[in-house]
Structures are given as C-alpha cells and as structure tokens.
Structure 1
Amino acid sequence: MSTKSLFQIHLFLGYVAWLLCFGAYILPWLKSMDRIKAHRAIATLHSFRFFGLVFILPGVVGAHLPASFATFAAYGDLATGLLAMLALMTIRIARVFWLFVVIFNLTGMADLILDYYHAIQAGLPAQAEELGAAYAIPIIYVPLLMITHVFALYLLARPQRNEAQAIAGQPRTSPNSPSS
C-alpha cells in the first residue's frame, strides 16, 4: 500500500475513532457542565498546541518535510495555543475571556483547515514519512482538535444564560423562581 493511501486511511480512521470517543464520553461530559467550564476544558486541551512547533524541529521531522506546510502549521498551532492560554488566564474577566474563546477557536479552526490545504498542495500525503515522529499529530491529535473547535463554535452559537452568575459561582435561577 502506498504512503499516500496509508496516510489517508490513518487520517480518516483518526476522525472516526475520535468521533466515536467524543460522542460516547467527551460530549456527555461537556454537556453536563455550564458553558464556561466546557469552554475552559476545551481551551485547556488547545493550550498544548505549542507542541506544533515540532514541525520545524530538525531531527523530529524529516529534512524534506515541505516548508510550505511545516512553517505555517507550526506557527498557527503556536498562535492558537497562546490564545487558548490567554482565554484561560482571563477567566475572571468575562468579556475578555469570551473574546479569547472566540478568537482562539476561529484561529485554530482556520489554522487546521489551512494546514490541510497546504499539506495537499505540498503533496504531503505521498511523503508522510517526512513527518517522522510528528506523524501522530495529524493522525491522533488534529482530529480531536477539529472536533472540539466545531463543538466550541456550536456552544458559542447557542443561547446563553447569565455568564456572570456562573463565574461568581452563584446558582442558576429559573425564570419562574423568585430571586432573592
């Protein structure tokens, strides 16, 4: 089987496995918490995207990994990871937190989409062995990142309750219950 075919099968099955895992375990867990905690969990996962700098680390990736893919992927991941960290650091400042949540998810999703584009343009699937030890990133890590970005954007689009109450740790009140 060709390198290109193996890479495409691995990538496809990475999405299938993560979608099954996400649907069975992660989605129910995220749905059981309020929006802030769910976004905080997603931001925590994405804060490790600085690891994408490995695409430009000699000795980890092959010498012939296309620079048109590697450089953009490395710095796009770094930017997304830093934005996720900023979201986590601003959790107590609601407007700033939500701004960083939106920005890191849009930036991160755009980065992944553009990484796919650059990989295809550079013929990366046919030379996937050049990923070296970083081969696991697009196969195992990227599908989870994309799935969580999609879910985060879904959560952002849903109607929201008073976020200030959640940050302060105050209990929820229903519209029909008296407030004190």
Structure 2
Amino acid sequence: MSPAVIFNIHLALGYVPWLLCFAAYVWPRLRSMEPAEAQRAIATLHSFRFFGLVFLIPGAVGPDLAPGFASFAAYGDFATGLLAMLALLLAARPAIFWPLVVAFNVVGVVDLAGDYYHGVVLDLPGHAGQLGATYAIPILYVPLLMITHVAAFYLLARARRRQLAAA
C-alpha cells in the first residue's frame, strides 16, 4: 500500500473512534450542561490549537511540505486557539463571550475546511511523509476538532431556539 493510500485511510478512519467516543461519552454530557458551560468545555479543547504553529517549525515537518498548506494550517489553528482562549477568559461577560464562541467556531471550521481543501489541491497524501512529527494532527486531532465544532453550532442553535421559545 502506498503512503498516500495509508494517509487517506487514516484520515477517513480518524473520525470513527472519535464519533463513537463522542456519541457514548461526550455528547450526552454536553447536551445536559447549561449552554455556556458546554461551550466553555468545547472552547477549552480548542484553546490548545496554538499547537498548530508546529507546522512552521523546520524539522517538525519536512522541507518539501507545501508552504501553502503549512502556513494556512498553522495560522488558522493559532487564530482559533487565541479566540477560544479569549472566550474562556471572558466567560463571565456574556455580551463578549457569545460572539467569541461564534468567532472561534467559524474561524476553526474555515481553517479545517481550508486545510482539507489545500490538502487535496496540494496533494498532501502524496507528501504525507513530509508531515513528520505533525502526522498525528490531521489523523487524531482534526476529527475531534471538527466534531466539536459541529456540536458547538448545534448547541448554539438549540440555545437560540430555547431563547425564542421563552420569549
């Protein structure tokens, strides 16, 4: 099997265990929490996305990793992580917290969708070995990030519906 095929299998199967774990353990808990608490839990996970800057460190990735991929992934993760941290720091101020929750989720989804797009356009599977130490990020971490963004948007919509119903 070629490295590109293995990488694509890893990408696809990376979602399966996270979805199973999320459905069994995380989702029931998030749904039972107050909306702000659930969003804080999700923001806590995403606050670690500053780690995406590792794509810019020579030696952590190979010299032939497409620069367009590495830069977009690194700075998109960094921006998402900073917005998530700001949301956590300002959780006591709902007028600021909620827009930051929306912002880090929008920026995060755009980042991940852009990473997938760049990965296809720049043939990332064909250069998977250039990911070096960062190989685990798209395989293990990105699926959980995307799943939690979807959950965050669902929880935001649910909270909004409840507000409208109460009014």
In the superposition, the TM-score normalised over structure 2's length comes to 0.95
In 1, Cα distance between equivalents of 2:95 and 2:159: 16
Divergent runs of 4+, >2 A: 159-162
* CA deviation profile, 1:53-72 (whole Å, cap 9, x unmatched): 01111111111110010001
Size of the aligned set, in residue pairs, is 163
In 1, Cα distance between equivalents of 2:2 and 2:24: 33
In 2, Cα distance between equivalents of 1:143 and 1:5: 18
In 1, Cα distance between equivalents of 2:113 and 2:155: 20
Matches within 5 A, 1:60-71: 60-71=60-71
Matches within 5 A, 1:38-57: 38-57=38-57
Query: 5+ unaligned residues in a row in structure 2: which ranges?
Result: none
Q: Which residue of 2 aligns with 1:116?
A: 116
- Across the aligned residues of Structure 1 and Structure 2, the Cα RMSD in angstroms comes to 1.2
In the superposition, the TM-score normalised over structure 1's length comes to 0.88
In 2, Cα distance between equivalents of 1:12 and 1:24: 20
In 2, Cα distance between equivalents of 1:66 and 1:77: 17
Q: Which residue of 1 aligns with 2:4?
A: 4
1:159 Cα deviation from its structure 2 partner: 3.8
Paired residues of 2:44 and 2:88 also in contact (CA < 8 A): yes
In 1, Cα distance between equivalents of 2:159 and 2:52: 33
Q: Which residue of 1 aligns with 2:19?
A: 19
Query: 5+ unaligned residues in a row in structure 1: which ranges?
Result: 163-174, 176-180
Letter in 1 for 2:64: H
Letter in 2 for 1:102: V
Letter in 2 for 1:149: H
